[in-house]
Amino acid sequence: MPTKLGARGTAALWAGKLTSALSRGLRRGGGTTLPGDVARWIDPRILTKLSRSLAEGTVVITGTNGKTTTAALLRHILEAQGRQAVANQAGANLIFGVTAAIVNQTSWSKTLPADVGLFEIDEASLPRLVQEVAPGTIVVTNLFRDQLDRYGELETTAAHIRRALTQGPEGVTAVLNADDPMVAALGDGLPRVIYAGLDDPSLLRPELSHGADAKFCPRCGSAFIFEGVYFGHVGRYRCPRGDFARPSPDIKATAISIEGMERMRLRVSDGAQTADVDVPLSGLYNAYNIIMALAAAKAMRVPLAKSAAALHDFTPAFGRMERTTIDGRAAVLLLAKNPTGFNEVLRTAIQFGKASSFLIALNDRIADGQDVSWIWDVDFEQLKGAAQHIVVSGDRALDLRVRLKYAEIPSERIEVVTDWRSALKRAADATPAGQTVFVLPTYTAMLELRAVLTRDGALRPYWQGQPADAKP
Ligand SMILES: [Zn+2]
């Protein structure tokens, strides 16, 4: 049924769709946000008006890392239950990107063929999105210091989220990571919270890596006692003064086993049901994305057993453990955009992928962080024993080479190649037959590398949708 938009809303929708068609024609990256700018300029209430027709409401996902994969996992679960989702493109996670997504998917005759909205949003934009779409569920994955120049303190980011959670619509359910102290603290006093977490002590590590944030109790400021961490500062913690501890998760993953880069298995339990989940992803950080998606699905009344079964044939989101072939060598693309994310993809590649050949690409555009000093917080020392060959590329390839030198990686194993096509070729050529090249780019470096691979025919253009769209 067409949505009632009024004359102004109709004009906004059509102008947005026209902008989208034109920018696709000009090959300007598929127009992931511009149609949103145009539509909102004509009718600032266009997002509210269009989202009203979503019968099952809206889910919003925020946090520093894992938004895109969590959203893709949740979308996969919901679509397996026959629900049709409208979702924004990975990276287009400001209010304009969300508006563009819903404008693009609404027809010229004002019909939106979707019953649920599924939006990933930047933490600072969350309060505004909540005001405009009144989501039924808000998911917070984790909170880490992002690239240094992007936002202020982590406390400011947490305050944005807290404001959105307390001023959200009546009946909103918060889905929070119990193992991240700053995220867990957001649940204080909220009427409906689902806490999700990992509960497999065999995978806890003793110490905090040097990228760790949030080491202090949000109530009294004392340094937390960590029994162990799964990554960064995410793990089992308590305040020594006893006023704050990890909430017991309502849904948790136990017995996690990771088999190479191919698959991982988790036993999950929500108190009522227990199910085994088998997902084609790797790495402990992805165990969090999986448990957060299962918890969000629970908030949307999907039984755990059904969610778990749906994830068996999940396809990774673009650039997030996406597989391709580069000049005859198997390759995995692992987006790495901040110290914690970088540490975890390095660890996963080395520990589970037995990685020895790398292409690491560092750009310094706005979306990457213009101050690249954050690379000094990345634990590149992990590469010391593992890496046989590393191609460094991107705008700041030389900074990266200096950083790797300080990580004591022998200089004869590091090669600087600035041209993208040549960098891919060199990385593939240096990879022994039968092995995999691991490509770790920052955000805009990934877009550019993907553009080269798309021209080569190895990947599809990103505006033709994430692999999740490609189901028959
Ligand atoms: Zn305390």
Q: Is the pLDDT of residue 185 over 50?
A: yes
How far, in Å, is the centroid of ligand 1 from the Cα of 301? 35
Q: Ligand 1 centroid to 153 CA: how many Å?
A: 20
pLDDT digits 0-9 by tens, 383-393: 999 999 999 99
If you average pLDDT over every residue of the chain, what do you get?
A: 90
Q: How confident is the model at residue 471 (pLDDT cuts 50, 70, 90)?
A: very low
Ligand 1 mean position, distance from CA 225 (Å): 10
Residue 211 has pLDDT above 60, yes or no: no
For residue 370, pLDDT over 90 is answered with no
> How far, in Å, is the centroid of ligand 1 from the Cα of 218?
7
Ligand 1 centre and the CA of 226: distance in Å?
13
pLDDT reading at 150 higher than 70: no
Q: If you measure from the C-alpha of residue 269 to the centroid of ligand 1, how many angstroms do you get, rounded to a whole number?
A: 29
The domains found in the chain, sorted by start residue, are: 54-93+108-313 (3.40.1190.10), 320-460 (3.90.190.20)
Residue 311 has which token pair?
A: 């994830």
Question: β-strand 234-238 against 225-231: which pairing, if any?
Answer: antiparallel
Sheet of 251-259: strand order equals: 85-87, 116-120, 58-62, 137-140, 173-177, 193-198, 251-259, 263-269, 274-279
Q: What is the pLDDT of residues 188-200, one digit of tens each?
A: 999 999 999 999 9
Q: Could you tell me what percent of the chain has a pLDDT over 90?
A: 73
- CA dist 214 and 449 (Å) reads 34
Measured distance CA(247)–CA(206) in Å, rounded: 20
Which comes out higher in pLDDT, residue 267 or 232? Answer: 267
Amino acid at 211: G
**307 pLDDT band (50/70/90 cuts)?**
very high
DSSP string, 366-380: GGG-S-GGGGGGS-G
The pLDDT of residue 224: 87
Tell me: pLDDT of 214 over 90. Answer: no
- How many Å apart are CA 34 and CA 123, to the nearest integer? 20
Query: Residue 162's pLDDT band (boundaries 50, 70, 90)?
Result: very high
Alpha-carbon distance 300 to 318, whole Å?
25
- What distance in Å separates the CA atoms of residue 14 and residue 402, rounded to the nearest whole number? 51
> What confidence score (pLDDT) does residue 355 get?
95
CA distances from 97 to 101, 159, 209, 444 (A): 6, 23, 34, 17
How many Å is the maximal CA-CA distance in the chain? 66
CA–centroid distance, 220 to ligand 1, in Å, is 4
Q: What is the predicted pLDDT for the residue at 29?
A: 55
**pLDDT at residue 470 is higher than 70:** no
Tell me the two tokens of residue 122.
């930047």
Q: Using an 8 Å Cβ cutoff, are 386 and 350 in contact?
A: yes
pLDDT in tens, 30-77: 557 899 999 999 999 999 999 999 999 999 999 999 999 999 999 999
The backbone region for 87, taken as left when phi is positive above 0, alpha when psi lies in -120 to 50, beta otherwise, is beta
Distance (Å) from CA 240 to ligand 1 centroid: 7
| Protein residues within 5 Å, CB atom, of ion ligand 1 | 217, 219-220, 222, 239, 241, 243-244
**Is residue 463 scored above 60 in pLDDT?**
no
Is residue 147 scored above 70 in pLDDT? no
Q: How confident is the model at residue 212 (pLDDT cuts 50, 70, 90)?
A: low
* pLDDT higher than threshold 80 for residue 175: yes
- Measure 221 CA to ligand 1 centroid, in angstroms: 6
Return the amino acid letter for 117. Answer: G
What angle separates helix 34-42 from helix 95-105, to the nearest 10 degrees?
Answer: 90
Q: For 115-119, 157-161, 397-401, which range has the lowest pLDDT when averaged over its residues?
A: 157-161
Rounded mean pLDDT of 464-471?
A: 41
What b/e sequence results for 50-70 when a residue is b if at least 16 CB atoms lie within 10 Å of its CB, and e otherwise?
bbebbebbbbbbbbbbbbbbb
**Residues near 2 by beta carbon (within 8 Å), at least 6 away in sequence:** 109, 110, 111
pLDDT at site 467:
41
What's the gap in Å between 451 CA and the centre of ligand 1? Answer: 49
8 Å CB contact between 423 and 400? no
Tens digits of residue pLDDT in 422-442: 999 999 999 999 999 999 999
CA of 247 to the centre of ligand 1 (A): 14
pLDDT at 465 over 70: no
Q: Is 48 exposed, middle or buried (0-12, 13-18, 19+ CB in 10 A)?
A: middle
pLDDT confidence of residue 464: 52
